[in-house]
Amino acid sequence: AIIREHGGSIKETYGVPVEEIQEGIRHGVRKVNIDTDIRLAMTGAMRRAMAKDPSEFDPRKFLKDAMAAARDVCIARFEAFGCAGRASKIKPVALEAQARLYA
């Protein structure tokens, strides 16, 4: 809606509703893609910023708003999916060791 409000003409699109993903997580889903939500948020933020100040031509200003929108979506999804603050529990695996797991 934000994209269309500021001149965009994309077809109706959205990611999987958060509630459905939470249900999947309760049933064992461990990989979730949120790229559609991130791209929609970033595009909306950039269009809003461009419409707010049509004389602005520095893309870094638009990207600043876009990055903030992406961050906000990520934070909201990480909290909703119960994975916020858990990065320290991820154990790094060397590429060679990971490759042996697939051999």
Tokens 């999804």 sit at which residue? 77
pLDDT value of residue 4: 78
Does the pTM surpass 0.85? The reply is: no
Orientation of helix 18-26 relative to helix 59-80, angle to 10°: 40
Residue 100 confidence class, pLDDT cut points 50, 70, 90: very high
pLDDT value of residue 2: 81
Q: What is the pLDDT of residues 36-94, one digit of tens each?
A: 899 999 999 999 999 999 998 898 999 999 999 999 999 999 999 999 999 999 899 99
Helical segments of the chain, H only: 2-5, 18-26, 35-52, 59-80, 95-102
